[in-house]
Structure 1
Amino acid sequence: MTTTSELRDKAIIRPVKRAVEDDLLDLPGVLAVDIGEKRVAGRRTGHQAIVVSVGRKGAPVGGKAVPDDVLGIPTDVIEEAPVPHHGRCAPRTPVRTDEARTCIRGMLGRGIAPCRSVRLVPPEAPPGRYRRVGTVGVMVHDHERASHAMGLTTFDVACMDDAWSVGDHMLDPESGEVYAELARAALSGRVDAAAVDLKDGVARTCVIRGIGPVAGKSPAENGAMVRKTGYATGTTSGTVVSTDTTLRLDHGPAIGRRVLREQVRVDGDPVFAAPGDAGAALVDAAGRVVGLHCAGNRDGTVGFACPIGEVLDELDVELCVAPPQN
């Protein structure tokens, strides 16, 4: 549970962190900047600090190191490498373009992959062609047409690189069935998201598998318990520990490294997510969506999500909400 004093300290540190985060990200090896509790030799100190994530601790490169404090605010350097949480699979399953004859159940939390594949080489993967895999997390609809329902995932999953276009076909990575087309997408300083149009025969539902009905949306709150259902790890839970995380993520050679600011950080209990879970919706105890999962650390104990309000605004859509239960 986040205490009042912790919230007060975060509010004091926040403008300083925002002012210096770009300078810190420019230092060699720095991958993220956040606000969190400072630890010394693994022990909690009870004091908030500017937390700087590096791929590997060691001697500073070129004599440039993270300072011990910034404008009087202490820093804490941790070893953590955020990575986009798309998965990948070899395109062995044939693409099925026939229309589904029956409704597909369990839509939310289902896997999604663009039909087109990309070529990868070491060290990213053994040489070959791969499909990028993620999750359809929640349903949204157009502002003017509530009947126009779309599935929500991430730009990193649905678009992959700079060769994407509206109408790109999306398939189920297990069956090879084409069930959606890319409708709109955004990759900005705060949002990594995409919406896909669902084909006839695909169930439109506001119920997330393993979680329940979507009751609405809300900003993420520090200390809140959240759950998500993803294609890779299913339904897991964790605790929101920050809404101030700024990440530099590598989206591959075509797009390169991009910075996402003021993202939601979730600590898992113990594991929260893995590659293939990108696009999963973060849902609080009241059934409200608070974020769209996009990245995590390499061992899956930490997840990062775009704030849902920012996602909906950039895609110009509204959340599909389940009708109230009588």
Structure 2
Amino acid sequence: MTDPHAETRAAIRPVKEQIEEELLAKKNVVGVDIDEKETGGQKTGELSIVVFVDSKQPLSKVPKADRVPPEVQGVKTDVQEIEIELQMLSAQRLVDEDFAPYVDPAAYPTLQGGISIGPLRSVFLSPPDAPAPGNYVFVGSLGAMVRDRASGQTMALTNFHVACVNNTWSVGDRQVQQSLVDGGSPAGQFGSLTRATLSERVDGAVISVDAGRAWTASVHTVGQVAGHTAATVGMTVQKRGRTTEHTFGTVASTDLTVSINYGSDVGVRTFRHQIRITPDTSRNARFSDRGDSGSVILDANRNVIGLLFAGATDGSATFANPIHSALDELGVDLIVSPVTVPTKPILSCLDSRISLCHVTKPSLCRPTRTPICDQVISRIVICDFALPTRPLSCHVSRTVCPPVPSRMVCDRPPDWRDPIDRIGAGHGYGEQGVDVEAPYWAGYLAALEEVAALDENGSDEQTPDRNGEH
């Protein structure tokens, strides 16, 4: 889906970026974005600079210095209330405590995106960072499998605040699946924390996977990761996380600036150019919740667009780092599912015998034989013109049923031109006096041998019945 407000959004963007520091300095302001202005909780269709506050108050109770101007350089503003949280879940660790299961606390023999992970260590916290002083353990989600650009090491991608928690982390900290919150133990160790980043764009970390540990380049219940792409407003997206599992939503903005409190140890951090996602409430009440931090967000084609790290406590919004920023800052690349490339010509059953086709685009073929005929043609005719680069219309006849031709006839389209004329001498298959590449001939001859073997052994398996079915 394209953004109907793309031009207006582009015009507002420099104004928003110019004023956002001043707005973030005001009391209770936690974010600045571009979105439709709301009146009475309903969107008006008019784009504005949206100022998010953690507590909306009557204007009369807001000091003048902290008031948001009604417009900036001709662009209207809109104040909206939102309470933001990091979407990591913690639990106080007590001796012999049994951790209650949440949505998907399971252990998986094969590492993949969308499953429970967390540090093996506990972290001591005290108020205001925790309800009471004590040692706490944490849980988030494994986002996706990645590969170190320098060493080629296989790694797991997640958030800084999932794998590191705070500034007490060290390289080599062991990680477990499932997390200790979910009942995990040292037996579930799968890797070591290698590096992390907490910048204006990324809350990320990578964990080197232990040798011998099984993994797959997929996100649980979503499928194989196809690649990555930039988020766009209006894009339909999905994610799989430990808590809310497989959910769906829509990219509402790629211009979010948001300030989040990471606790007294790390402090308040401001993120810029972030992705804001709203839930598809026809499919799920919320897009994410605590415990989903570290999940990757994908488009409908399973291309990763972001790394989930925070959201609104009421489920109205989820925030994500742009995936290209996360990959670059961490020095890794997504591991994607391999593309299978055929190494031999493809044999397919066409009409009543095996046909060998070398095409670069789909061919449209139609059988021309009559249902009941007397004579069978048992040979293959190889057409003597070059490799087609456009669909061919192929008349295939296995039998001699006048006036049907008794051989394979390949009609050249009306606008057909020889590839040699199009490409230039020395580049066309079938050109006299030119050596065709060895791989082509190897595949060609291998296919002919297969066809010959099928003719010798009978082709009952490949012969359709009179209704044209196999």
Same structural fold, with TM-score higher than 0.5 when normalized by the shorter chain? yes
Matched, 1:204 2:204: no
- More strand by percentage: 1
Partner of 1:194: 205
Greater than 6 Å deviation, 4+ residue runs:
none
Is the counterpart of residue 89 in structure 1 residue 91 in structure 2?
yes
**Cα shift at 1:71:** 1.3
Q: How far 1:124 sits from its partner (Å)?
A: 4.9
SS at structure 2 position matched to 1:254: coil
Match of 2:115 in 1: 110
Cα distance in structure 1, aligned partners of 2:225 and 2:135: 37
The answer on whether the counterparts of 2:12 and 2:75 sit within 8 Å (CA) in structure 1 is yes
What is the aligned partner in structure 2 of residue 265 from structure 1?
Answer: 276
* Kept after mapping to 2: 8 A contact 1:88/1:132: yes
Structure 1 residue 286, shift from structure 2 partner: 1.2
**Correspondence for 1:274 among 270, 289, 304:** 289
Aligned partners of 1:321 and 1:92: how far apart in 2? 40
For structure 2, the 5+ residue unaligned runs are 97-106, 342-470
- Alpha-carbon distance in structure 2 between the residues aligned to 1:249 and 1:202: 35
Instruction: Pick closer, same or farther for the CA change 1:149–1:75 going to 2, 3 Å.
Output: same
TM-score (norm: length of structure 1):
0.92
Q: Which residue of 2 aligns with 1:151?
A: 156
Q: Deviations over 1:163-214 (max 9, x none)?
A: 2111011123132222221011110011110000112343221111011110
Q: RMSD of the TM alignment (CA)?
A: 1.9
Bigger fraction of residues in helix: 2
**Within 5 A, what are the aligned runs for 1:108-187?**
108-122=113-127, 124-127=129-132, 128-146=134-152, 148-171=153-176, 172-173=178-179, 174=182, 175-176=184-185, 177-187=188-198
Distance of 1:93 and 1:157 partners within structure 2: 23
CA distance in 1, matches of 2:95, 2:7: 53
* Uncovered stretches (5+) of structure 1, i.e. residues with no partner: 95-101
Separation (CA, whole Å) in 2 of partners of 1:193 and 1:256: 16
Amino acid at match of 1:205: T
1:320 aligns with 2:335: yes
Percent identical among aligned pairs is: 40
What displacement does 1:63 show? 4.5
1:162 aligned counterpart, secondary structure: coil
Tell me by how many angstroms 1:43 deviates: 2.2
3-state DSSP of counterpart to 1:205: strand
Partner of 1:256: 267
User: Partner amino acid for 1:108?
Assistant: G
1:307 is aligned to 322
Deviations 1:42-74 (A, max 9, x none): 222111000011011112146421111111111
User: In structure 1, what is the equivalent of residue 17 of structure 2?
Assistant: 18
**What is residue 289 of structure 1 aligned with on the other side?**
304
How far does residue 90 in structure 1 lie from its aligned partner after superposition? 2.9
CA contact (8 A) 2:194 2:208 kept: yes
Give the length in aligned residue pairs.
317
Specify whether residues 325 and 300 from structure 1 end up closer, same or farther in structure 2 by C-alpha distance, changes over 3 A only.
farther
